[in-house]
Amino acid sequence: MGLGAGLAVAEMLTSDPKLLASRKSSLRRRHSAKGGLRSVQIVGSEPQQLANAARLNADDGADVIDINMGCPAKKVCKKAAGSALLADEDRVAEILKAVVSAVDVPVTLKIRTGVSPQQRNGVAIAKIAEDAGIQLLTVHGRTRADRFKGEAEYHTIERIVDAVSIPVLANGDITTPAQALAVLQKTGAAGIMIGRAALGRPWLPGAIAQSLAGLRTPLPSLAERFLQMRCHLTALHDFHGDFMGIRIARKHVGWFLDAIEHDVASSFTEWKRHFNALQDAEAQQTLLQTLELRCTENSSTLRNNELAA
C-alpha cells in the first residue's frame, strides 16, 4: 500500500555473481509494477562486478541504480564494501565511473560523513561522486567508525551540500516532522531519507513529507496501524512462503510493537515472546488480532506526541 514516501529504495543486493542466483538475492530482485519507481541498491568492492550488476538490474527494469557506500555492518565492511570503501577514495572513483558508464539510468549513492570522527572525508567523496556523474547523494550523519552510536552530526552534511551542485539528502536520527525541518534548515539539503525510524512505522516518511509540504495530517489511528501490520503480515507470508515468511514476520512484528509501546503506554515483551514461538501463519494473524482488541479496549486514543504537530 502507498503510504506517501517519495521513493523507496530496494533492499541491498550483492554484486557478487556467485550469489546472484541465491534464494535471498533472487527474492530481492523481484519487483511489482505497483511499486512505483524502482531503485535497486547494489553493494560490492570490485568496479567491474558492480558495473555488471548495475547493467543486469537496469536490463531487468530498474529505473535507478543506487550504490551503497554507507553500510557499517561487519560482514559487509570485512569485504571492503559498504562504508569501508570511504577509506579508499581512488577505489570509490573507479567504482562510480564504472557503474555510471555501464547504464543509461540515473545512478545514486549512499555514504556516511567519513571514515571516522578524525577523518570526515565526506566532502571529498561527494566531489568524486559529482565528477563521476552521480545524480543524487544521500549522506548519513555518522562516520563508519561511529556505526549507529551517539547522535548524528549534520555539520558535514551542510559542508557537502555547499561543496557540490547535485541534490543531497540528509539522513540520521530523523524521527519527526520537526526534526526533519530542523535538519533541512541546518544542512540546506534537498530532502530527507528515513531509515531505522520507519521500522514498525511505515507511515512515517509519508507523514513527514506531508508536514514539510504544509499539510496537517493526523497520525494513523491504532486501528489503522494494526490494519497496515496485518496486511503486511499477509504479504510477508505470501511472498516468502510458510517457512521463511513465519520467521521473517517475527522481526517485522517486533518492530511494530516496539513502535506502538510508547503510544499505548504498555510493554509487549510477553506478546513478542509468544508471537516468536508460533509456527503457523494463521496463528500469527490471530495473535495480532487478539492484541489489537486488547490495545483498543485499554486505550481509546493514542497519546499525543510531537508527530501530531
Question: What is the pLDDT, as a whole number, of residue 283?
Answer: 96
Q: What is the mean pLDDT of the chain?
A: 89
Question: What is the pLDDT, as a whole number, of residue 306?
Answer: 39
- pLDDT tens-digit map of 47-86: 999 999 999 999 988 999 999 998 887 767 666 667 889 9
pLDDT exceeding 90 applies to what percent of the chain?
Answer: 71
SS3 74: helix
Higher pLDDT, 215 or 184: 184
pLDDT of 128 higher than 80: yes
pLDDT of 301 higher than 60: no
Q: Give bridge partners of residue 39 from the DSSP assignment.
A: 9, 64
Chain centroid to CA 102: 25
pTM: 0.89
Question: Sorting pLDDT into bands at 50, 70 and 90, what band is 36?
Answer: confident
Instruction: Say whether 71 is catalytic.
Output: yes
* Residue matched to cell numbers 543506487: 66
Task: Determine the Cα–Cα distance for residues 111 and 8; give it in Å rounded to an integer.
Answer: 17
Question: What is the pLDDT, as a whole number, of residue 303?
Answer: 45
Ranges 156-165, 207-216, 230-239, most confident: 156-165
Task: Determine the Cα–Cα distance for residues 121 and 108; give it in Å rounded to an integer.
Answer: 18
Question: What is the pLDDT, as a whole number, of residue 21?
Answer: 63
Give the chain's end-to-end CA distance (angstroms, integer): 24
Do 169 and 193 meet the contact criterion of CB atoms below 8 Å apart? yes
Question: Sorting pLDDT into bands at 50, 70 and 90, what band is 309?
Answer: very low
Do 104 and 62 meet the contact criterion of CB atoms below 8 Å apart? no
Higher pLDDT, 25 or 118: 118
Which of the following is catalytic: 71, 77, 231, 295?
A: 71
| Residue 54, all three cell numbers | 548495475
Q: Give bridge partners of residue 64 from the DSSP assignment.
A: 39
| Residue 199, all three cell numbers | 521500522
pLDDT of 161 higher than 60: yes
- Scored b (16 or more CB within 10 A) or e, 224-248 reads ebbebbbebbeebbeebeeeebbee
| Residue 55, all three cell numbers | 547493467
Question: What is the pLDDT, as a whole number, of residue 79?
Answer: 65
**Which amino acid is it at 147?**
R
Q: How many CA atoms does the CB half-sphere of 291 hold within 13 Å?
A: 28
Question: What is the pLDDT, as a whole number, of residue 295?
Answer: 85
Residue 6: DSSP 8-state: S
Question: What is the pLDDT, as a whole number, of residue 298?
Answer: 64
